[in-house]
Amino acid sequence: MVRFILNRLLLIVPTFIGITLVAFIFIRLLPGDPVILMAGERGVSAERHAELMAQFGFDQPLWKQYVDYVSGLLHGNFGYSYSTKKPVLSEFMARFPATLELGLCAIVLASVLGIAAGILAAIRRGSWIDQVTMGTALVGYSMPIFWWALLLIILFSTKLGWTPVSGRIALTQFFPSVTGFMLIDSLLAGKPAAFWSAVQHLILPTIVLATIPLAVIARQTRSAMLEVLGEVYIMTAKSKGLTPRRVIWLHALRNALIPVVTTIGLQVSVLIGGAILTETIFSWPGIGKWMIDSISRRDYQVVQGGLLLIAAVVMFVNLTVDLLYGLINPRVRYR
Amino acid sequence: MKLIQMLLAATATSLVLAGAGHASTLVYCSEGSPEGFDPAPWTAGTTFDASSRTVYDRLIEFKKGSTETEPGLAESWDVSEDGTEITFHLRPGVKFQTTDYFTPTREMNADDVVFSFMRQSDKASPWYEYAPGIAWEYFSSTMAGSLKEIVKVDDMTVKFVLSRPDATILATFPMDFASIVSKEYADQLEAAGTKEQFNVKPVGTGPFTFVDYQQDAVIRYQANPDWWNGKQPIDDLIFAITVDAGVRQQKLVAGECDIIPYPNPADIEGLKANPDLQVMQQEGFNIGYLAYNTLVAPFDKPEVRRALNKAINKKAIIDAVFQSAGTAAVSPLPPTSWAHDPDLVDDVYDPAAAKAELEAAGVTGLSMKLWAMPVQRPYNPNARRMAELIQSDFNAVGVKAEIVSMEWGEYLARSSAKDRDGAVLLGWTGDNADPDNFLGVLLGCDAVGANNRAQWCYQPYEDLIQEAKLTVAQEERKPLYFKAQEVFKEQAPWATIAHSIETMPMRANVTGFVQDPVGIHRFVGVSKTE
């Protein structure tokens, strides 16, 4: 097990080098000069342009800029945002808990509902339940997030008034931030009303963000279950006279979960993509919107640092999934 | 029965008391996050709304809802005969805000004023570059050119010495970068080694005291009880950052916001029909234009430019591109400017005359490029669509226009080139109320090859705007700018297309909000009826 983890950790080194290079090169391949973009219609004199380019280090040769960037990283310096003049790391940390809270809620919702729906569809294969579940999953998978979110807002927030339109918590709720997670901080502050408000604010964005992963997980669970249900050992279990419940939960599901766990792990990157739109619509103060704005401003250091930090999160999740995989499937445990 | 009466009376009394003690809160759903809270290094209106217009004051202020000025932290000012010295007499008894991170020990004085400007100009100041890459763009592009030094005459008097007379400099004092900051607070942060806090936790003399900022989500302020102009009627002011215009509208309808800026043009009619809301509209302080390159034939001939202007159907553009949230522009100056000439006559839309005039000028079979911006701006919400409409208008008079577009940074850089091919769609939003900010910055000879996208340097016009720049009295400047606008119209370096209309929807119970012609949003005097 230790060796397995060590091997995995070693792989991170080349991945990181790859990501720094890709982030560094791609943002520079985009046309557009950050200084001119910053000045906008106002314009900037050639002299001032040169001065600012030098201040940001853009007058250096590319290889030198890259070396400076990487050596900064090794010293824990992710650089500064040109637009806010604040360190990239602190900008990221200020926004990341919001994305994480929303992402965790979405992945939990997608996994619980998705696996349940997948099992139900598999054991009732061909029935109306199967058809409705899989039909809904297909619709969910094809849903344009932007449209879907506005539809939910118009129905549940504006027409019915059940949920707030956007934001993380009611504006009347104000308490110190400790962990950055509203659900936890509201409880730490001893404010149950604030906790309830945070839950209400989470409902719509969680549904929107969970929609696509839910559909994928449901379909994956169904097909994995169907495959497992046709295996010889299931027939054996049934012929031993085990109850259907025991056959499904103990014998079928445990084996069917192996590909499903991988799918859930892969959905993390889908979630980050979805978070960009969801956060924009629901005014959710996370990293998705921040990254998009930085790309359009050509805020090189934010894009580089932000990508690297997001990649670190994705790698961490993948490592966790690999470890979980070992727990679920003893065959890969000690390889 | 008596018991019930007593209970009812007690309930009523407690309700009244609760109502009296209830803090009133105004929620403004702003369109984006501020870049920071130091009012000087930034250039975005979103940042100014959240910093300079709430927390800070300036020596001179815009009158509410006007481009005219009034005394702010300076009670009065004198300009020397030769126009090279401006002496400000400061308002006594002005207090900086007390917050949980700063308690002032003295009132605002000349040291604060000198510090507010010197940190932007003196490279030796420890505050000149207190955050990496910080730059003072507005100061450098406006005041720096003519400012020689700032002298503290006594505790309540400050003198600005100029290197040459410049009437436009007075118009820069109400600008956001010229907000007065606390030197005492700065000294305290410097001693503690936490200078970057200056941009995170602001202290000013303004109507609202900063309380808290939750990144990209909420900014909280409280009415400043010590404001020299009186405490504000609302107790708490909240900026709820809501980026998407559709969502802002839903929040307003649901009562989660009291005021929102920048609604989608297509939604405005629906908002007007809602009895719970009121919608304010005013011409924006901007101009969307099409600039010909007057250095390149055949656009070097005024008669050709005038003929092309006659071919453009502005009404169709305003209906289709602005969805009627715009007005046809006659002058480069917006109608809300004090120097706008109301008697100026616009080109008449007349394709037949345009065609005849082009032929008379010897222009047949003309092919040209038409540049369309890749970004959305209030002065041009959809440049591509606008370009298509102009293309079809030009086609009707026998001119073939090819639409080109490119990445925004490239667009800005390449459209400035003197040998640029064709006509460019672009626009401008005023930085300050001075007419020179439009007529000089965009059309003066100095700006050729830069902001003067028409590359138009016409001496009779240049003489007028230069003379106006050196004239201090507004009444004497006005006729000079009127004449300059006539010359502009006659020479037609641009087709002036539209000024957008700024729309501010708000809940029906909001009172006292006044739209500002220069597009800033401030909440002084705003209150809510129950």
pLDDT band at A333 (very low <50, low <70, confident <90, very high): low
Answer whether residue A64 is part of any domain.
Answer: no
CB contact under 8 A, B247 and A42: no
Answer whether residue A93 is part of any domain.
Answer: yes
Q: How many CB pairs under 8 A join A and B?
A: 131
Q: Are B268 and B279 in contact (CB under 8 A)?
A: yes
CB contact under 8 A, B247 and A165: yes
Answer whether residue A46 is part of any domain.
Answer: no
A94 reaches B (C-beta below 8 A): yes
Given B141, B254, B406, which is nearest A42 (Cβ)? B141
User: Element (H or E) spanning A293, and its range?
Assistant: helix A287-296
Answer whether residue A334 is part of any domain.
Answer: no
**Each residue of A259-276: pLDDT tens digit?**
888 888 888 878 888 888
Domain ranges of chain B: 25-276+508-528, 286-502
**Each residue of A104-148: pLDDT tens digit?**
999 999 999 999 999 999 988 889 999 999 999 888 888 888 889
Q: Are A137 and A218 in contact (CB under 8 A)?
A: yes
Contacts of A86 in chain B (CB under 8 A): 36, 131, 196
Q: Collect the ranges in chain B with pLDDT lower than 70.
A: 1-23
Answer whether residue A78 is part of any domain.
Answer: no
Across-strand partners of B280? B504
B217 reaches A (C-beta below 8 A): yes
Distance from CA of A85 to the nearest CA of B (A): 6
Q: Which residue of A has its CA nearest to B451?
A: A43
User: Element (H or E) spanning B188, and its range?
Assistant: helix B183-192
Interface of B with A in 361-400 (CB under 8 A): 377
Task: Give the residue from A28, A33, A42, A47 with the most B CB atoms within 10 Å of its CB, the best one to mutate.
Answer: A42
Interface of B with A in 442-481 (CB under 8 A): 450-451
Interface of A with B in 166-205 (CB under 8 A): 166-168, 171-172, 174, 177
Q: Which residue has the tokens 């994480």?
A: A100
Looking at residue A94, which CATH number applies to its domain? Answer: 1.10.3720.10
| Helices vs strands, H then E, count in chain A | 14, 0
Task: Give the residue from B47, B198, B247 with the most A CB atoms within 10 Å of its CB, the best one to mutate.
Answer: B247
Residue B39 CA neighbour count, 13 Å, CB half: 28
- For residue B145, give both structure tokens: 């050119």
CATH of B286-502, one of 3.10.450.50, 3.10.105.10, 3.40.50.10860, 3.40.190.10: 3.10.105.10
DSSP string, A249-296: IIIIHHHHHHHHHHHHHHHHHHHHHHHHHHHHHTT--SHHHHHHHHHH
- For residue B156, give both structure tokens: 């309540």
**Each residue of A229-259: pLDDT tens digit?**
888 888 888 888 888 888 888 788 888 888 8
d(CA A101, CA A84): 25
Answer whether residue A230 is part of any domain.
Answer: yes
Q: Find the domain containing A250 and state its range.
A: 88-167+209-328
pLDDT at B22: 54
Contacts of B25 in chain A (CB under 8 A): 171-172
Answer whether residue A73 is part of any domain.
Answer: no
CB contact under 8 A, B217 and A43: no
Q: Are B383 and B434 in contact (CB under 8 A)?
A: no
Across-strand partners of B502? B282
Superfamily covering domain B25-276+508-528: Dipeptide-binding Protein; Domain 1 (3.90.76.10)
Enter the pTM of the model: 0.83
Q: Are A315 and A12 in contact (CB under 8 A)?
A: yes
pLDDT at A22: 87
Answer whether residue A290 is part of any domain.
Answer: yes
